[in-house]
């Protein structure tokens, strides 16, 4: 079922589902700690395998929408791309670090321990340094944006994240004296970007060749 703006009921009420998931996670951690304790046993290089699987399920459908053939037209309208690149890679990670530091180490200093503040800061840095891919398509639909241009923005950012994410995160966490091994960061990029992106590209190529672009 689609609404008048062309987005599904699931997309329309995405905020509600996110809030429900957060509430469910808090409930499990608070009243059923054995569940996260069991899941935490399955990790490699400090990366949760169950979390990786769930993230694949979330990202893979969106990655199928990325058409790297569109990158060929990157020079036709570069202004919007420059804004996106500068915001995502030269402003957002560092502003996230500054805002998180202000809240966790100054404003909330009386409410959380220094160790917890450092952990929260690390999470904020990891979040801030990774540009959102999946939601971009939803936002573009909501604002009646140009779908082709959206694909170009997503495709170019997916390429940039392959080599920019790890050094930026390593630098910001190093400033915070947070030790995150290189293998964890690199494995995260491979698991959460390279694998779903490659799977999406492969699926798109196979389905398009067999059934046509209109079917896809």
pLDDT (average), residues 144-148: 76
Distant-in-sequence, close-in-space partners of 114: CB < 8 Å, separation ≥ 6: 105
What pTM, to 2 d.p., does this model score?
0.67
Residue 129 token pair: 């340094």
Q: What is the pLDDT of residue 71?
A: 67
- pLDDT tops 90 at residue 1: no
The neighbouring-strand residues paired with 141 are: none
Integer CA distances (angstroms), 166 to 117, 163, 174, 186, 193, in order? 22, 7, 12, 7, 12
Q: What is the pLDDT of residue 3?
A: 45
Summarised one tens digit per residue, pLDDT across range 157-215 is 878 888 888 888 888 888 777 777 777 778 878 877 888 888 888 998 899 889 888 88
């Amino acid at each position: 079922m689609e609404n008048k703006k062309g987005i599904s009921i699931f997309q329309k009420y995405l905020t509600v589902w996110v809030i429900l998931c957060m509430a469910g996670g808090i409930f499990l951690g608070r009243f059923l700690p054995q569940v996260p304790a069991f899941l935490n046993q399955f990790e490699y290089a400090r990366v949760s395998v169950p979390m990786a699987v769930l993230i694949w399920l979330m990202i893979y459908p969106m990655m199928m929408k990325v058409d790297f053939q569109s990158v060929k037209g990157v020079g036709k309208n570069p202004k919007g791309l420059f804004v996106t690149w500068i915001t995502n890679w030269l402003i957002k990670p560092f502003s996230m670090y500054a805002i998180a530091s202000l809240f966790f180490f100054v404003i909330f200093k009386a409410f959380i321990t220094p160790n917890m503040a450092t952990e929260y800061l690390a999470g904020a840095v990891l979040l801030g340094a990774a540009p959102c891919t999946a939601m971009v398509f939803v936002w573009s639909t909501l604002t009646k944006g140009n779908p082709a241009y959206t694909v170009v923005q997503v495709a170019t950012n997916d390429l940039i994240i392959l080599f920019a994410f790890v050094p930026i995160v390593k630098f910001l966490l190093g400033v915070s004296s947070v030790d995150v091994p290189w293998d964890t960061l690199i494995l995260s990029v491979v698991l959460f970007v390279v694998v779903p992106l490659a799977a999406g590209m492969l699926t798109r190529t196979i389905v398009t060749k067999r059934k046509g672009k209109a079917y896809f």
